[in-house]
Amino acid sequence: MFTNYAYNIKIALEAMVQNKLRAMLTSLGIICGVGSVIAMLAIGEGAQSEILEKMKILGTNNIILTSIDLNDEDNQTNDEDEEESSKESKKNFSPGLTLADMTNIREYLPTVSMVSPEIVLERTALRKGKKRNINLIGITNDYFAIHNTGLLSGVKFHSKNFAFSEQVCIIGSGIRAKLFPADNPIGKKIKVGDKWLKVIAIMNERNVSSENLESLGLRDFNYDIYVPINTMLLRYRNRSLITKEDLQRQNNETLPGNQNQLDKITIRIENSESMTVCAEILDRMLLRRHREIKDYKIIVPELLLKQEQDTKRIFNIVLGAIASISLIVGGIGIMNIMLASVMERTKEIGIRLAVGATQRDVLIQFLSEAVAISLTGGIIGIILGVSGSYIIESTANINTIITPMSVFLSFFVSISVGLIFGILPAKKAASQKPIDLLRYQ
């Protein structure tokens, strides 16, 4: 039985080799279709990977509150709501985003598990003649859990650091490489601004692509220096307090610069299903506390990323559907050529049936030829698809990921196309009577 199958397949392959150009042209649709499907799947996997990386960076179940400086021209828009808010701000005074807001959120929202405030100041770090511009970040220990990061070495801040506003800090891995290239920084001091800070820990390195940092509007965490939030407020800058310098720079009735005590509050919600409701409650709560002045922005990263994910998924489905049309066209081409081949080889089929070949033998012969054509096109298409994915990544700067499943799927599709579109010509060749075939002119 196996020998009989092998013989029929051999005849099919010989017929294909004798008509190499025709077989290659017939398989062009399969080549284009399989190559396009692999490239589209690679782009889709790359997009999915980027979204998952963004979710990991921003954290799951997080709501982000950011402060808005209403005096900053960059934040002024033509939107009617913003104009009304700006007019309202002239009548009322908002304290801005403060630690009191954080305490209020933690107290009155039962679904909140953690709250992490942040204050960001631009400063210069100096050690042994090495100087670097850095972001000084005032945080609490909730920052590490909310942002899914930890320490490479050392210890986190403890209650004494916060209570006494101690001059201690945790440095990013990039700062360690630049300012402590050959030393262990733990226990040593670094001058940040006009204050000396003792290094108590080093943050884990966070490998985030520059594209993701730019798209999410984030800074490079590896080059930040972190201090207890009380240290930031008491020893560096508390923007909620009006200083003598502020009064000297006072212009009319508006104080220049950002007057928000906090730059950001990140809130971890226990249940992801209540994210939208919590965001609405937060908006109402903060509007009331800020005297109906909207000097803050509420961002729900999970919802934004899910919208981006849905958009990219729809885009990939459309592109995949377009690529699949090539496979259908290629399959129709195989069926047409095989039907023509049956007509051309009528006497050959009649002779085979007359000398003892069964209808199954003829069926296997023509079916094998159709599958061989589509499989050849599928293999070439896989090679082109993989090559095209790498070219797209290098030239268009689009992340692509080729998975074994996509290659296997393309391989399976190419065989299926040959079987589906080759079955009709094969049946037509096998179902005819030998005497009619031998008579055919």
DSSP-assigned letters across all residues of 173-199: HHHHHHH-SSS--TT-EEEETTEEEEE
- Residue 8: per-residue pLDDT: 59
- Residue 232: per-residue pLDDT: 92
Q: Per-residue pLDDT averaged across 408-416, rounded?
A: 80
Q: How many domains does the chain have?
A: 2
* pLDDT greater than 70 at residue 245: no
Per the domain annotation, does 39 fall within a domain? yes
Per the domain annotation, does 325 fall within a domain? yes
* pLDDT greater than 80 at residue 231: yes
Last residue of a domain, one of 184, 217, 237: 237
Report the distance separating Cα 102 and Cα 333, nearest Å. Answer: 67
- Residue 68: per-residue pLDDT: 82
Does 139 lie in the same domain as 49? no
Let me know: does 255 contact 248? Beta carbons within 8 Å.
Answer: no
* pLDDT greater than 70 at residue 406: yes
Q: Per-residue pLDDT averaged across 321-349, rounded?
A: 75
| Of 357 and 101, more confident | 101
Per the domain annotation, does 408 fall within a domain? yes
* pLDDT greater than 70 at residue 439: no
* pLDDT greater than 80 at residue 340: no
Min mean pLDDT across 140-144, 174-178, 315-319 is at 315-319
- Residue 77: per-residue pLDDT: 47
- Residue 370: per-residue pLDDT: 79
Does 127 lie in the same domain as 9? no
Let me know: does 30 contact 379? Beta carbons within 8 Å.
Answer: no
Q: What predicted TM-score, i.e. pTM, was given to this entire model? A: 0.62
| Of 2 and 15, more confident | 15
Does 232 lie in the same domain as 123? yes
Q: Per-residue pLDDT averaged across 1-22, rounded?
A: 68
| Crossing angle (nearest 10°) for helices 301-344 and 404-430 | 30
Does 432 lie in the same domain as 323? yes
| Of 243 and 321, more confident | 321
- Residue 78: per-residue pLDDT: 45
* pLDDT greater than 50 at residue 348: yes
Instruction: Name the β-bridge partners of 135.
Output: 122, 224
Q: Per-residue pLDDT averaged across 272-292, rounded?
A: 84
Share of the chain above pLDDT 70, in %: 77
* pLDDT greater than 60 at residue 307: yes
Q: Per-residue pLDDT averaged across 148-155, rounded?
A: 86
Per the domain annotation, does 252 fall within a domain? no
Does 44 lie in the same domain as 157? no
Q: Per-residue pLDDT averaged across 40-60, rounded?
A: 71
3's enclosing H/E stretch is helix 2-18
202's enclosing H/E stretch is strand 195-203
Does 398 lie in the same domain as 328? yes
Query: Dihedral angle at the C-alpha atoms of 312, 314, 316, 319, nearest 10 degrees?
Result: -140
Name the nearest CA neighbour of 435 among 345, 343, 362, 353: 353
Confidence of residue 137 (pLDDT cuts 50, 70, 90): very high
* pLDDT greater than 60 at residue 382: yes
Per the domain annotation, does 416 fall within a domain? yes
Per the domain annotation, does 249 fall within a domain? no
Last residue of a domain, one of 180, 211, 237: 237
Last residue of a domain, one of 206, 237, 268: 237
Does 163 lie in the same domain as 45? no
Most confident of 230-239, 302-311, 341-350: 230-239
- Residue 213: per-residue pLDDT: 54
Report the distance separating Cα 429 and Cα 8, nearest Å. Answer: 14
Determine the structural domain holding residue 132 and report its residue range.
112-237
Confidence of residue 1 (pLDDT cuts 50, 70, 90): low
| Of 166 and 92, more confident | 166
Per the domain annotation, does 276 fall within a domain? no
| Of 138 and 399, more confident | 138
Confidence of residue 210 (pLDDT cuts 50, 70, 90): low
Confidence of residue 198 (pLDDT cuts 50, 70, 90): very high
Q: Per-residue pLDDT averaged across 60-83, rounded?
A: 65
* pLDDT greater than 80 at residue 309: no
Q: Is 243 helix (H, G, I), strand (E, B) or coil?
A: coil
Does 22 lie in the same domain as 121? no
Q: Per-residue pLDDT averaged across 328-343, rounded?
A: 78
Does 209 lie in the same domain as 137? yes
Does 427 lie in the same domain as 322? yes
* Mean pLDDT of all residues belonging to the chain: 78
- Residue 192: per-residue pLDDT: 92
Terminal CA-CA length for the chain:
34
Q: Per-residue pLDDT averaged across 396-400, rounded?
A: 76
Q: Per-residue pLDDT averaged across 124-142, rounded?
A: 90
Min mean pLDDT across 100-114, 248-262, 392-406 is at 248-262
Report the distance separating Cα 278 and Cα 147, nearest Å. Answer: 19
Per the domain annotation, does 76 fall within a domain? no
Min mean pLDDT across 2-11, 115-124, 196-205 is at 2-11
